Structure 1
Amino acid sequence: PDTFSQEAWFQTTSTIGGRITGFANRAIANTAIPAGLGDVRTRESIASVANQWMQSGQADNSAFAANFLRTIRQFPADQVAGLERKFFTNVSNANAPVLRLLTAADIHPVAVNVLNQQRDGRFLLPSASAGTNLLPGNGTFGREIEHIQSFPTFFNSWSGSGTLEHNFSSNDRLRLNYIKSQQFVEEAFGWANSSPSPTLGLTPGYVASLSHVHTFSPSLINDLRGGFFELYNTRISKFRDINNSTLGIFNPLEKAVGGLAALMPTIDIVTQRGGAGIGNAWDFFDRQRNAYMMDTITHIRGSHSLQFGAELRRTTLGGEYMARTNGDLDYQNWVLFFTGHGASGGGSDLDQGDTRRNYRTWDTSLFLQDDWKVTRNFTLNLGLRYDYFGWFRELNGRIGTYFNREAAARANVPEGYHIARNHLIFQPNFNPLAMGLYISPEVPLDLRMVHQAQRDTIFRPDRNNLAPRLGFAWQPGIVKRLVVRGGYGLYYERPSGAFKSDLQLSSPFFIYQNVPAPPDMADPYPRLNINPFTIPLNVRIQRDANGGAAWRRFDGSPFPLTEPFSAKNFTFIDPFIQTPYTQQWTLNIQYEPWAGNVFDIRYVGTRGVGLFAKINMAQPVDPRVTPVNGFTNIRTATGALLNPDFFVPSEYLGLGRANGFRLLSNWANSNYHGLQAMFRRRFQNNLLVNAAYTWAKTLDNISSNGGVVEHDARRIANNRGPADFDRTHRLTLAYIYQFPVLRSNRVLGAVAGGWSLNGMLTLQSGSPFSAVGGAAANAYWAQVGRTRVDFVANKTAADARKTGSVQSRIDQFFDPTVFMNSDDRWGNTGRNILRGPVQRQFDFALAKSIRFTEVVNCELRWELFNAFNQPTFSNPNATLPAAGFGTMGAITSTIGGPRTMQVAVRARF
């Protein structure tokens, strides 16, 4: 605002779900900050402001002094070097404290710009108004006024379709289909704890297909089809009028890269209740286009029905991912924001790189199938399909991967980055800033480990995707209305779309760079102090007399305080990655004891082979077992634990212990075995029923597609266990009952007729989970992201399981005393050895159908979801603290919602 004021400089602001605790501007207006950067109209200190504030009768001197001194402790020199000396000590005697209070001249010009930035007549960071709720101060923060912001979210969705069919003759039929859809959402708050920064979600799409069927003869038919599909998936700022430079902040990527990287940064300020801020985070847009053509020839010859054909598909994927290339600035309180001192220890970041992509690829498929009626009651289905899924090419060469020592030897190529040859990195006078990398000029640029890839697609083609299919159907002559079916099939799926984002965020095209306590808000983003084009990174390890270790630059000098080094995390795609596939087999019996009622019992098996997952190749080595990088112990001479980042294999030095070299490849596998029983009753005697029960088990070593293998990644077999989504039992029951119509009385029939009761029942077992612990207390020599704990001696998972209702076990759903931290070893508990609460849901609907004419009728519905208002509990807390048991075993949240009722009206004409 043109005049910004506060009760006292220790006022804070906070938001929770759109609530913002802001400044009490009603008290005084003595510290005036002009909208421009040039001058400050008054240099009156906060001391005089506070004095006038106290004279208003709202506080006394002792209360002000107490709160003031308590607040000082929140940001001394342990947070920002020099800040304590500047504001809270005597210049001539550092040991003599003095209250050197902020003046208006201490306010950073960028902070002034942020406070005065407006859009549509509103301040981006609003001030609280008079008459709002006053929150009392505490030992950390002063009093706050709660400012509640309410802005609507808009949603709009529509779709339409059309079909045009024309028969040129009895032998030629042409059919055109078109479907258009549009979804639009406008969210007022781009992320939680923010001021309004509208974000638009746009997902327009359309599908068009054209088919021509020509009948040469009753036994020879050709079906030619073609089509086009397009879908946009966008989440982007509604307003893109404010950039870093608009606020006076220098972001080198704003001009070098542009696009989403040019938008304003996110600015977060820690407050009494959490944080508040402005800006947008994680904007993105994606566009997928797919064109295809398929021709199928059907030839009937005797007892054989032959089908063979081919399919050609063209896929393009384009888009951009912000990933905070626009910058993120965090401040631990308002004083640090005013003075432009960033949060100590990190939190702020500038993700460097260029995430714009424009991928192209071709797919080809051939297929052949024979439906052979062997006898009157026995049929065989024999088929073979071939799929070639092309790997992506990128229009501007923004695609590549890293060949580590093993992959390079296998491919007989040099170790290092292999990038598409048309990328700008191979152009003369290459400047890394052109690809979004802001490197210190003191760092020597070394491109010796950057090579032109042998293929524009980078990855080795996978051309052996043959998929056989076999099925049969048999109807025994001695048992009528009984059919036995079975089959086996192998299925490949297009893989590369699954790791599109990994390609966008892989090195050297993208590098995360933390911003530790930036001292200047106008130039907060640090440069890379490493050469990003080599692995291991060009860093050194310096040891002290006690065996302690610290990172040093390429020349042995310390990293600047404003540009320190932390181990990097990279993701790469295995250059030998292959198309994953699944094998499926089934045997089922269908029996219809009476017309319209079918029992179906089947066994289903599925095996997933070569599924996608990531393993951190840079997982630390235990130096007590295998010396690494000059280390033979995990502690210094004084007993302090060393940073496990120093224990990564020398091939990956400088990369992080938990996620340093995430290699996406065919690491995962899965197995599913299930007994499925179903009963289907067609609508008869006013009743329709569909019931299904499944007893099944799914085992895998990782459940998320492309997720990182947990615990000890070098022993992936130890992660085999129930899948995260495994449900041992599941029962569903759906029914519709129409009440009989009273036909004897027309009036009563109109009132009492047309009623129906619908219902849906779902019962299922709980989902499995693991007992995990903190990295500092389990395998602490490695400190990877997620580690499992130990069993107490002579205990097993069975000892942890408790009986009784969920409500009686809310505070201790399982026994946590069965588990203990594993200290410097890998924990011996398995993955997903425990299972959460069972889940159930009852939904009902009562409907009344009214017919006005032969072509016009209306349906009124009263619907109840979770009709009995039963809570569905989430899994309990399964994390074991470093000391004690904390809340381990306690259920602290639910999933789903309470009973919900709604009334609906549907008109048909």
Structure 2
Amino acid sequence: MRTHLFRRIAVVFGILGMIGMAGVSYGQTAQTGALGGTASDPSGNVLPGVSVSVTNTATGQVRTTATQGDGRYMVPLLPPGSYKVEATRSGFKTATIEQVRVSITETATLNFKMQVGAINEVISVEAEPMQLDTESSALGHITDERMVEGLPLVSRNYTQILGLSPGVSGDVTNSAHIGRGDSSLSSGPGGYSIGGNSTNDNNFQMNGDEVNDLMGESAISGGVPVPNPDSIQEFKVQVGQYDASYGRNAGANVDVVTKSGTNQFHGDVWEYFRNTALNANDYFLNRNHLPRGVLDQNQFGGTLGGPVVKDKAMFFVSYQGTRERDGLDNSAGCLSTGFLPPIANDASSRTASALAQQFAGETGIFGGKAITSAGDISPTALAVLNAQLPNGNFVVPAPQNAATGASTFTSDCHYRDDQVVSSVDLYQGQKSHVSGKFFFMNSNQAGAFPNSQLLPDVVTVPGFPQTFTNGFRNFSLTHTYTISSHLLNQAVLGFHRLAGGLGQDYAKVGFANSTPCGSTPGPFTLSSVCVPAPAADNPYPNIEVFGTVSNLSSSSNGVGFNIGGNGQGVKFYQNYYDASDSLTYDRGKHSLHFGGGVNRTQINLRKFHFFGGLVFPSMPDFLLGNPYFSIDVPGVFDRNWRVWEGNGFVQDDYRILPRLTLNLGFRYERQGQLGEYLGRASTFDPSRANPNPPDSGSFDGFVVASNFSGGAIPQGVIRSSNNTAIKNEGQNGLEPRVGFAWQVPGTSRIVLRGGYGIFYSRTTGEPFLQLLAAPPWGVIRQFILPGSVDAALPSTPPFPVFQPYSPATALTPTAFAQSFRAPIMQRYSLNLQTALASDWMLEVGYQGSRGTKLLQSRSFNQALAASASNPIRGETTNDVGNIALRVPIEGLDPQFSTLIESAGASWYNALGASLSKRFSHGLQFLASYTLASALETNPGYTTGGFSGGGRIGDQYSARANYGFDNFVRPQRLVVSYVWQVPGFTAAGGWRTKVLGGWSVSGVTTFQNGQRLTIVDTNTLNAFGISSTGLDRAQLAPNCSNRNVPTAGNVTSRIDNYFNASCFTAPAVIGSDGMATGFGNSGNGIVSGPDQRNFDIAVTKRIRLHRENQALEFRAEFFNAFNTPSFANPALNIGDVVPDPVTGAALQQDPTFGHITATSVAPRVLQFALKLFF
């Protein structure tokens, strides 16, 4: 029914768009603005035939038009900047207005009241464009050059400005984040959610060309390009109800325009400087009596612009370099806290005999053989514990805190980038403008302590840094041509390239004592610590220990450490080619904007290694050589993905009444799926699988692409009709948009605006990355309780290979639903703008959204519940031992048989308010408040990346997963300002030089904590879903969800942020006395720590002797008052199993309920010196 409704709406708006072409968008695009208004005589009657001349004060370019029969005029497609406007007509004096600001994507409204007199009499009119938006329902704020350069931006990253508007959710920008920071990665928890959409859903354009990270792999694939603030002319964020010329994603539209040259030479040079000695210490380093982490940074560069040929050719160029050493960014692996075993830092304590004596009598968590002699110590454990780094430190050192095992590591992370921004503008008379703009950047980054892929709470020990490399190349060529005063054309050609890579470094190690496998000094590999491994996995060692130090005592400390880092290596190459054209036509009551474009996307993947390693569930298991599980992902992983996409739109802004404008638009968007040109796309279709395969095996359900290149296809495997291996549904998006702006009768100070629209979101390449391990090109191999280290990582078969599933197998297919398609978002808003005192505006309104067909992932083969009345393959009980017999499709793993589908839903409602003041009397100001509620069928949707938020607990129950989003914060207040302090500029002499030229700017943020869900590994789950964080935790008897939060300030609850005693082992439901059911705690039952932050800049500007020359000294204080904002506590209760001595529930994760990091750096001081000329 809903689909038919959408079709009817689309038809209606298509007809309206066709009608509008007879008459017409206000003429602005992603890189231009417009100027319009009315002319009237002294009595208020409209005046047709008034000539309006608009002159760009920087370039001297002139555009002219005339008022129409209703007295209206429109000058579209104006580059952002300052303009001089003249209005002339016979019998009236010439009216001139200086310094009229035109901003991108906006129409400045400037009305003239002509005075009777001679045309050669010129009067200067003191007027500013209306601050109220009387023409459009679009939500958003413009940030001009003054704010971009004036605000204290962490890492000089303009994307931080996204967080200044209402309707936005995101963390406080952390000045300790290495490099460009997380906000430009456009995905994951470092990005911004706009209107309840995913952080992947924001569309970035630079100079009219799309610059999105189409892979969506966060730091690995690079994010979006970040030109330095001194090269940015203007920046606009539209957070909702934007017109039909915008598409691709349903979140924010972010338009940035870099600077062009002018008729005068201008430029600046700068140096931004940070030094560890100027900073405060991290809260947890200080708490553990450790020195402050290193945070040194230099950012240097300059700009130069001017004429090549006056009025005809102009240039602009900018360079910036960044060099950074960072020991504070825990998210990038520069700072980390873990728990180590109580083994001394000397060789004599690490012999097999010494270890056997220290851990005598210990058994694994499942019992079995005890440690009684040196011969019981595993060769792998002996080699790992004796491995030494080149500096002589042990790879697994003794804990810093002997009582708890806690250890905090800090090590320099290194970052370097170099960027160039340039432009050339050619003017051919007053009708033709050609602009070519280029952006170049190379960067590389190293993180000392990368997160584990399998157990995120397990800390990597020193010696295994991770590296990221990124390279950006962006070129845009724009031609704007004035066909007539009412008809203009703009064509854009663009190319965007992003090369990204992830690498893992491994230290060269020596050994304090000899090992049974004869370990010798050299690179740390799996074979060097006595682990037989395939050749592809051997150079990427990963060994993790997570559990208790002792299994004999219920009061044992915990242990958690990772050797080998992240274990990944990969190279991405993205190329994006874009061509678009649009016409703007203004006539009478209509302003029409219509056009379209086509683009070609290429994503190439090379040298991919995912993971290969072992996990031990306790320190005794590690010493005994009892891995809990092993996992690796062998295969052939090179890929060449390709897709053609296109769009067309019509937008009619119809001034139906003098006080009412309707915004009517319709957009067609073809969003294709990525086809694989090497013939290696493959997936699995559960609906076509054989639920009861024969002992000989079955291939039913496997799907390969139409261009499959792996040889003969076994019987049962389906060859798809296209090279994506899915049905390619939902690629043709029909997106009607409607809005209005109504100036309330009786006043010119109040405007009511509202709108509704349908928006499709392009899926990134990241979901397709998950299919790399789909047979026959790869496989995820996991062995639970493999028995020994020697059996954990067997040899790999040659690929491609089709392996049938049978009752004897546990294959792990990753599947795309055949109906996989682009997500759909319906967005709607209603708000009120009112002009207050001069230059002040208050805006209050509601915005909401309803998402359908959202991305989500879940297991499609979770075991079913058996009973005497409902036996499954003869089984009537729900035990650990019969999980494989109770799954829907026998022969497939219940945990790693993953389905990526378009079946999620979301509901977002928010009250937004903003108080803004445009620059006057030395002050520019914006305060934004948001009160929001975001509900989803997968509470991790906004930051879920490829999975859209995987389900936790029961994989078949959307209702059980319904709840608050875990990223969107309920309340958020952000205040940004630039204030030129009144000085003694008129007095002259020393008072002007000392007391004049000061300014203060800043960004202040207050926001609630995030909604947190407590999770449990639930290893013995009766339905086979066990894995990190895949079940809600079990409430203890006499505890409810309301008993979990605790009272008091955060610092008093760091070691017990919530009531950890309210959780226990999941209820046993199996007849074996082990198999457990699902946890019963709720979603979002705990609010995380609030964030409060003040970033302040103080600037002193000294004018030099020559005009336009000045020296500026700047001091920036990030987290100026050194207020700690804490990260969320550890939410995974761990592997809760009965204590072998007392039988009581044993909590194995020592960090559960503890806060071990801050989310915002301590006070960081940055100095800058700039010379303007």
> What band does the TM-score fall into relative to the shorter chain?
0.7 to 0.9
Offset from partner CA, 1:232-262 (integer Å, 9 cap, x none)? 11122579998989989999975xxxxxx48
The equivalent of 1:418 in structure 2 is: 703
The equivalent of 1:266 in structure 2 is: 541
* Pick aligned residue for 1:604 from 847, 869, 877: 847
Whichever residue aligns with residue 426 of structure 1, its letter is G
The equivalent of 1:53 in structure 2 is: none
Equivalents in 1 of 2:1018, 2:1170: separation in Å? Answer: 59
1:275-294 equivalence runs, <5 A: 281-294=567-580
Whichever residue aligns with residue 227 of structure 1, its letter is G
The equivalent of 2:669 in structure 1 is: 387
The equivalent of 1:683 in structure 2 is: 919
Equivalents in 1 of 2:874, 2:506: separation in Å? Answer: 53
Could you tell which deviates more after superposition, 473-482 or 214-223?
214-223
Structure 1 residue 776 displacement after superposition: 6.0
Match of 1:424, SS? coil
Could you tell which deviates more after superposition, 277-286 or 289-298?
277-286
Equivalents in 1 of 2:1042, 2:379: separation in Å? Answer: 62
| C-alpha contact (below 8 Å) 2:1060/2:1153 kept by paired residues | no
The equivalent of 1:365 in structure 2 is: 647
Structure 1 residue 221 displacement after superposition: 2.6
Equivalents in 2 of 1:724, 1:585: separation in Å? Answer: 23
Match of 2:725, SS? coil
Structure 1 residue 115 displacement after superposition: 13
Question: Structure 1 residues 820 and 314 mapped into 2: Cα distance closer, same or farther (>3 Å)?
Answer: same
* Pick aligned residue for 1:830 from 1062, 1067, 1082: 1082
Match of 2:441, SS? strand
Match of 2:956, SS? helix
1:655 aligns with 2:892: yes
Whichever residue aligns with residue 1125 of structure 2, its letter is T
The equivalent of 1:441 in structure 2 is: none
Match of 2:723, SS? coil
Equivalents in 2 of 1:367, 1:697: separation in Å? Answer: 32
Match of 2:443, SS? strand
- Structure 2: which 5+ runs fail to align? 1-335, 452-458, 508-521, 550-558, 692-698, 1070-1076, 1138-1143
Equivalents in 2 of 1:134, 1:809: separation in Å? Answer: 27
Offset from partner CA, 1:818-870 (integer Å, 9 cap, x none)? 77766235455432233234332233333322223433323333333333333
Equivalents in 2 of 1:582, 1:478: separation in Å? Answer: 37
Whichever residue aligns with residue 434 of structure 2, its letter is L
Structure 1 residue 319 displacement after superposition: 1.2
| C-alpha contact (below 8 Å) 1:287/1:317 kept by paired residues | yes
* Pick aligned residue for 1:738 from 980, 999, 1005: 980
Equivalents in 1 of 2:721, 2:447: separation in Å? Answer: 45
Whichever residue aligns with residue 1162 of structure 2, its letter is R
Equivalents in 2 of 1:820, 1:150: separation in Å? Answer: 34
Structure 1 residue 614 displacement after superposition: 1.0
Structure 1 residue 691 displacement after superposition: 1.1
Structure 1 residue 511 displacement after superposition: 1.5
Question: Structure 1 residues 826 and 168 mapped into 2: Cα distance closer, same or farther (>3 Å)?
Answer: same
Equivalents in 2 of 1:380, 1:594: separation in Å? Answer: 28
| C-alpha contact (below 8 Å) 2:344/2:398 kept by paired residues | no
* Pick aligned residue for 2:866 from 598, 612, 623: 623
TM-score with structure 1 setting the length: 0.72
- Structure 1: which 5+ runs fail to align? 1-14, 29-45, 51-63, 89-98, 117-122, 255-260, 429-446, 541-552, 554-566, 636-640
Match of 1:460, SS? coil
Aligned residues: 764
| C-alpha contact (below 8 Å) 1:672/1:698 kept by paired residues | yes
Structure 1 residue 671 displacement after superposition: 1.1
| C-alpha contact (below 8 Å) 2:1002/2:1094 kept by paired residues | yes
| C-alpha contact (below 8 Å) 2:738/2:755 kept by paired residues | yes
The equivalent of 2:885 in structure 1 is: 646
Match of 1:502, SS? helix
- CA RMSD, aligned part only? 4.9
Structure 1 residue 762 displacement after superposition: 1.6
The equivalent of 1:484 in structure 2 is: 752
Whichever residue aligns with residue 891 of structure 2, its letter is G
Equivalents in 2 of 1:904, 1:797: separation in Å? Answer: 48
Offset from partner CA, 1:638-680 (integer Å, 9 cap, x none)? xxx535343212xx223333x3321111121111111111101
| C-alpha contact (below 8 Å) 2:589/2:654 kept by paired residues | yes
The equivalent of 1:128 in structure 2 is: 392
Equivalents in 1 of 2:526, 2:910: separation in Å? Answer: 59
Question: Structure 1 residues 835 and 607 mapped into 2: Cα distance closer, same or farther (>3 Å)?
Answer: same
The equivalent of 2:147 in structure 1 is: none
Offset from partner CA, 1:522-576 (integer Å, 9 cap, x none)? 99634579997466x2234xxxxxxxxxxxx7xxxxxxxxxxxxx4433211111
| C-alpha contact (below 8 Å) 1:774/1:879 kept by paired residues | yes
Equivalents in 1 of 2:567, 2:1152: separation in Å? Answer: 34
Question: Structure 1 residues 872 and 466 mapped into 2: Cα distance closer, same or farther (>3 Å)?
Answer: same
The equivalent of 1:5 in structure 2 is: none
The equivalent of 2:500 in structure 1 is: 233
Whichever residue aligns with residue 877 of structure 2, its letter is N
The equivalent of 1:465 in structure 2 is: 733
| C-alpha contact (below 8 Å) 2:537/2:632 kept by paired residues | no
1:151-170 equivalence runs, <5 A: 153-170=413-430
Structure 1 residue 632 displacement after superposition: 0.6
| C-alpha contact (below 8 Å) 1:579/1:610 kept by paired residues | yes
The equivalent of 1:222 in structure 2 is: 489
**Higher relative contact order structure (alpha carbons within 8 Å, sequence separation ≥ 6):** 2
Structure 1 residue 611 displacement after superposition: 0.7
Question: Structure 1 residues 69 and 804 mapped into 2: Cα distance closer, same or farther (>3 Å)?
Answer: closer
1:378 aligns with 2:625: no
| C-alpha contact (below 8 Å) 2:739/2:754 kept by paired residues | yes
Question: Structure 1 residues 815 and 320 mapped into 2: Cα distance closer, same or farther (>3 Å)?
Answer: same
1:259-338 equivalence runs, <5 A: 261=536, 264-266=539-541, 268=543, 281-320=567-606, 322-324=608-610, 327-328=612-613
Could you tell which deviates more after superposition, 733-742 or 719-728?
733-742
Offset from partner CA, 1:736-757 (integer Å, 9 cap, x none)? 3333212435212212222233
Structure 1 residue 623 displacement after superposition: 0.7
Equivalents in 1 of 2:1043, 2:472: separation in Å? Answer: 53
Equivalents in 1 of 2:762, 2:751: separation in Å? Answer: 34
Equivalents in 2 of 1:813, 1:602: separation in Å? Answer: 35
Question: Structure 1 residues 66 and 612 mapped into 2: Cα distance closer, same or farther (>3 Å)?
Answer: closer
1:362-761 equivalence runs, <5 A: 362-405=644-687, 415-427=700-712, 447-461=714-728, 462-514=730-782, 525-527=794-796, 533=802, 537-540=805-808, 567-624=810-867, 626-635=870-879, 642-649=881-888, 652-657=889-894, 659-702=895-938, 703-704=940-941, 705=944, 706=947, 707-742=949-984, 743-744=986-987, 746-761=989-1004
Could you tell which deviates more after superposition, 777-786 or 693-702?
777-786
Whichever residue aligns with residue 834 of structure 1, its letter is V
Structure 1 residue 205 displacement after superposition: 0.7
| C-alpha contact (below 8 Å) 2:578/2:599 kept by paired residues | yes
Structure 1 residue 291 displacement after superposition: 0.2
Match of 1:749, SS? helix
Equivalents in 1 of 2:771, 2:829: separation in Å? Answer: 37
Whichever residue aligns with residue 881 of structure 2, its letter is L
Whichever residue aligns with residue 654 of structure 1, its letter is G
The equivalent of 1:32 in structure 2 is: none
| C-alpha contact (below 8 Å) 2:731/2:822 kept by paired residues | no
Larger radius of gyration: 1
Match of 2:679, SS? coil
Whichever residue aligns with residue 976 of structure 2, its letter is A
| C-alpha contact (below 8 Å) 1:292/1:313 kept by paired residues | yes
Equivalents in 2 of 1:149, 1:783: separation in Å? Answer: 30
Structure 1 residue 589 displacement after superposition: 1.1
Query: Percent of aligned positions with the same letter in both sequences?
Result: 25
Structure 1 residue 591 displacement after superposition: 0.9
The equivalent of 1:851 in structure 2 is: 1103
Whichever residue aligns with residue 902 of structure 1, its letter is L
TM-score with structure 2 setting the length: 0.57
Whichever residue aligns with residue 453 of structure 1, its letter is S
The equivalent of 1:769 in structure 2 is: 1012
Structure 1 residue 160 displacement after superposition: 1.4
1:50-61 equivalence runs, <5 A: none
